[in-house]
Amino acid sequence: AIMTSQNYENLPASSSNVISLEADSPRPHKLMKLLYREKERDILKHGISSWYMLMVFRMVNPRGEGDIEGDDEGYYFDQDVSRKQLAHAIILHEYPLSIVDHVGFRNFVASLQPMFKMVSRNTIKNDILKFFDNLKSKTASLLDRVTSRVAITTDMWTSNSNKKGLMAITGHFIDDSWGIQSHIFRFVYVPAPHDKDALCSALINCLFDWNLERRISTITVDNSSTNNAMMRTLLDEKLNKRDLLLDGRVFHVRCAAHILNLIVQEGLKLIGESIGKIRDSVLYWIGSAGRIERFEKAARLLHCSCKKNLEYDCPTRWNSTYLMLRTALEYKEVFKKLSLTDSNYKSYPTEEQWSHAEDVCGKLKLFYHITEQFSGTRYPTSSQYFTKVCEIKMELEDWAKSFNPLISSMASAMLLKFQKYWDDVHVMMGIAAIFDPRYKMKLVEFFLPQICGKDVSTKIQEIRSHCYDLFHDYNSRLSSPRESFEVCSSSEVVNLIEGDRLSSFDRFVASSRATMEKKSELDLYLEESLLPQTPSYDNLSWWKTNGLKFPTLQKMARDLLAIPVSTVASESAFSTSGRLISPHRSRLHPTTLEALMCLTSTIDNVSCPTLIDEEEEPEISFMPNVD
């Protein structure tokens, strides 16, 4: 007779014939393989039928890994590893903690691995909090080891359910391996009103908790009057200016993505009516299931190649407006056909309005790609900023000369907004651009005459002077002398060559060497030839390997290249709904919420691609995106 699992569990524990298959048994699959090698009569001696034993063996070794003729190790189930992966999935994909109570999820997990003991909601929460404590300890240890400064970014998030404000405070630095590190130090509730004092208190408490008040390089914030006031308070009242670079002159960095948003919004105002008609059209056709089906049918009949969703924009975020226009333009003929058959569809844009949208959409493509570059987190953005901003200025000036009155008017409005912020960013980002050995000062000298017009020489000298001031600031903070730049003085050389028949020549050489001695690292670096521009060039690798040659500049580069020019990563910069916390996370205790948000940023550093069946064609869906 076949022994059931119930009979198996009832075997006496003292029996030597009983084989434990509990999760904590040492490698149960080895016992299975051992028994599987025996004849049926030998298996029966253990009191278990061969059929049942084979089923159990398949359960613990579902893929046949470590088969009896192969590897001795094979598959080994580990409860702790699976528990950790469950916590990681909840963190990474924002699953609710209550997923462990869902019957469907429990059944699914049991079908994959019956030996896994599902944990409770409270247990998985405690696991996550332990991971968070471990993360904080590792991050603190890492900060203790590295000698570089830390660049800070702050951005505000909103709870979806109760509209509470929370501040994400993130640190960015380059580690000893010259890799860019980004860690959320705090995700903290900020009580209303969110004035300069409330924001300043949350930020300064974080800096002191992490002992960073003397190690800050810059703080990047969104451009707003409240943030500007907060930065002045930090600089004037909370921090010691002597601990900051150049006494705080380069302390405040305005978020590039936010500034670009303000500039583009200024231009979009001129085609507000056209955008409004397209927006109303999109809303109409995604307004009900019946309309969605009719739109899909019309798209198929017209053999529309576009597979994108119709997207409704968030009016305050230009990139979502750009995406809405771009997709709507691809379905222009579908909208036109439906306007002829649906008398209730009254928001169909005119040909002129479609033309306006097409013209503007083509221009906004540049801003979209530059915003994407500015919001990167795995490569230096500060050294790219100066170049990209100059490109934007030059493009806007070209657009202003357009024969298309709409484009020229839009460009003029955007240029006025651009000029308002240019003077606040060009110095620090110009310095960062110098630390790309492919460009150095030549980039500044090339671009500024094309975009500044008047006082070009003054602005170039301003960037150069700030760069040298920063170099001297770093030099004065370094306690040990740089032996690699020590050479004997001219008097010592002259004494050595007295009596030589070529003494006059040698004095000349000695004098030249004395002049060379006075040149700083920065002088020598700027005098070297520019590196060729190759696609494979890696700025961080170059500075990592040239530290012996330019030790002070290397330290500067390590701090400057870690400065992010945007407060948010690209996926947040292009969010159509803003920085919102999901409803189920909004209801969590602040400590649990902070743990999840901080851990997400760490786990997210590992690429997690979405697997798609290549043979399956995605269906066209026009349902509105809801976050």
Give the percent of the chain with pLDDT over 70: 76
Contact between 321 and 315 under an 8 Å Cβ cutoff? The reply is: yes
pLDDT over 90 (residue 128): yes
- What's the pLDDT score for residue 179? 93
What is the C-alpha to C-alpha distance for residues 416 and 73, in angstroms, rounded to an integer?
69
**Residue with token string 């707003």:** 224
| DSSP state, residue 487 | -
Q: 482: pLDDT confidence band, cut at 50, 70 and 90?
A: very low
Contact between 224 and 156 under an 8 Å Cβ cutoff? The reply is: no
Locate 436 and state its tokens: 């790309």
- Name the maximum alpha-carbon separation found in the chain: 113
- What's the pLDDT score for residue 304? 85
Locate 279 and state its tokens: 């927006």
Which secondary-structure segment (H or E) carries 181? strand 180-190
- Please write the tens of the pLDDT for every residue from 189-236: 999 899 999 999 999 999 999 999 999 999 999 888 999 999 999 999
- What's the pLDDT score for residue 285? 93
- Please write the tens of the pLDDT for every residue from 389-445: 889 999 999 999 999 999 999 999 999 988 887 766 668 888 999 999 999 999 999
3-class secondary structure for 326-381?
A: HHHHHCHHHHHHHHHHCCCCCCCCCHHHHHHHHHHHHHHHHHHHHHHHHCCCCCCC
Most confident of the ranges 135-139, 271-275, 566-570: 135-139
pLDDT over 90 (residue 450): no
The H-assigned helical ranges of 247-317 are 256-268, 272-285, 289-301
pLDDT over 70 (residue 38): no
- The residue type of 360 is V
Query: Per-residue pLDDT averaged across 478-495, rounded?
Result: 42
- What's the pLDDT score for residue 163? 80
pLDDT over 70 (residue 502): no
- Please write the tens of the pLDDT for every residue from 71-82: 445 678 999 999
- Please write the tens of the pLDDT for every residue from 149-198: 999 999 888 887 778 899 999 999 999 999 999 999 999 999 989 999 99
- What's the pLDDT score for residue 419? 84
Contact between 469 and 499 under an 8 Å Cβ cutoff? The reply is: no
Query: Per-residue pLDDT averaged across 444-465, rounded?
Result: 87
Mean pLDDT for all residues in the chain? 80
pLDDT over 70 (residue 354): yes
Give the percent of the chain with pLDDT over 90: 51
What is the C-alpha to C-alpha distance for residues 552 and 397, in angstroms, rounded to an integer?
39
Residue 539 — left, alpha, or beta (φ > 0 → left; ψ -120 to 50 → alpha)? alpha
Q: 313: pLDDT confidence band, cut at 50, 70 and 90?
A: confident
pLDDT over 80 (residue 499): no
Shortest CA distance to 229 belongs to which of 206, 203, 211? 203
b/e code 463-486 from CB counts within 10 Å (16+ = b): bbebbebbbebbeeeeeeeeeeee
- What's the pLDDT score for residue 421? 79
Cβ contacts of residue 483 below 8 Å, gap of 6+? none
pLDDT over 50 (residue 139): yes
- What's the pLDDT score for residue 528? 94
b/e code 72-96 from CB counts within 10 Å (16+ = b): eebeebeeeebbeebbbebbbeeeb
- Please write the tens of the pLDDT for every residue from 505-562: 565 555 555 555 578 999 999 999 999 989 899 999 999 999 889 999 999 999 999 9
Q: 456: pLDDT confidence band, cut at 50, 70 and 90?
A: confident
165-174 and 150-159 strand pairing? antiparallel
Q: 481: pLDDT confidence band, cut at 50, 70 and 90?
A: very low
pLDDT over 90 (residue 504): no
- What's the pLDDT score for residue 18? 37
- Please write the tens of the pLDDT for every residue from 563-622: 999 887 644 544 444 577 888 888 899 999 999 999 987 876 554 444 333 333 444 444
- What's the pLDDT score for residue 562? 95
What is the C-alpha to C-alpha distance for residues 575 and 196, in angstroms, rounded to an integer?
26
What is the C-alpha to C-alpha distance for residues 300 and 307, in angstroms, rounded to an integer?
10
